[in-house]
Amino acid sequence: RDKFFPICAWGTSLNELRQLAGKIGLNFDDYVYHVGKRMLVQVKDEMIEIKLKGLCTFDKLRLIKDMHRDIRLFYGSRIISPPNDGSDLVIDATGFNRTLLPRIRKDYYIPTVEYRVKYRDPPFDDFYIKPIDKLSGYLWYFPLGDGIYHVGAGDYYKNHEKYLNEFLQKYKGEILMKTGRPVRITPPHLSTPILDENIVGVGESIGTVYPILGEGIIPSMQSAEILAKHIENNSLDKYPEDIMNHFDIFYKLFVFIQKKFSGKFRLMRDFGLLVSPIIYMKRREERFGLEVRLRDWLKIVRSY
């Protein structure tokens, strides 16, 4: 238990987590480190400023431990196969490892590395990100309060450490911790099977990570909520379809970034793919915690 640490930038939407945490009797505000006012996005030599609407960082470690407080857990256990104990239902919540469900036929992931850094004189006082070429990833800088920041990067083409080292050389601070892990960007539609006999997946094990942002906290909690509903209603056979419908936008976003990665994206032909994430996020600004503007998105896409 003492060695458990959730590897993540610890950023999320204040508005959405208040609702989700409230459903299990927790006050999310008790865990919040920093509520942002603006996010700086470095696009080549230009800096775009995005107004924030509840994007925050929080003590994810403490929140998870409090969520677990009434559950019997075995920390440090290595799961290599389903239990052979006659269980009616086994839930694969093993994240990227997807230990219990069958392997995904074609899996896509982004390797990431993150540092916890303490600055005496921080280069930025709020959220900052820098996209990587071809939009194959980005560098992030998230404030945790008291001069401490999560500074990390992820890149499909594995150039993330180069970008990260350049940033840390330019903006030197005290390194407190280094972590890293791959993040699955394969959407649920391609992360099948979701249900295999008495084993059912939830969270990142079935691809509930927003492909463009690499954000999985809220989608994974939503998938758990959907699963709980179907368990209670004895309708587990309908769970995969419900997941596909709920995360339909993830597949469209995945197709878009695949084309950007491969250089096959064409603005006129693929305009629908380009605007679909903006329309989706614009209608859900409080869910994502930021103001969404088409001109910002177009500038980012055209620059990379």
The whole-number average pLDDT for the span 169-186 is 97
DSSP codes joined into one string, 191-209: S--SEETTEEE-GGGGT-S
26-40, 176-190, 258-272: range with lowest mean pLDDT: 258-272
| Closest among 283, 275, 258, 94 to 189, alpha carbons compared | 258
Query: What's the pLDDT score for residue 196?
Result: 97
Q: Does residue 2 carry a pLDDT above 80?
A: no
**Given a cut of 90, is residue 143 above it in pLDDT?**
yes
- Please name which of 284, 289, 297 lies closest in space to residue 37, comparing C-alpha atoms: 289
Q: For the chain, give me the number of helices (H) and strands (E)?
A: 9, 13
pLDDT at position 212 is: 87
C-alpha torsion 94→6→219→156, nearest 10: -80
Tens of pLDDT, residue by residue over 211-259, are 989 999 999 999 999 999 999 999 999 999 999 999 999 999 999 999 9
Residue 260's identity, in one-letter code, is K
Q: What angle do CA 82, 88, 93 make, to 5 degrees?
A: 50
Burial, 234: exposed, middle or buried (Cβ in 10 Å; 0-12, 13-18, 19+)?
exposed
Round to whole Å and give the CA distance between 220 and 284.
17
User: Residue 56's pLDDT band (boundaries 50, 70, 90)?
Assistant: very high
Q: Quick check: 57 pLDDT over 90?
A: yes
Domain boundaries, the chain: 87-108+185-265
- Of all residues in the chain, the percent with pLDDT exceeding 70 is 100
Are 132 and 160 in contact by the 8 Å Cβ rule? The answer is yes
Measured CA to CA, the distance from residue 222 to residue 210 in angstroms comes to 12
- Tell if the pTM clears 0.75, that is, is over it: yes
- Where is average pLDDT lowest: 150-154, 177-181, 258-262? 258-262
Rounded CA separation 154/111 (Å): 6
Whether 70 has a pLDDT exceeding 90, the answer reads no
Percentage, residues of the chain above pLDDT 90: 81
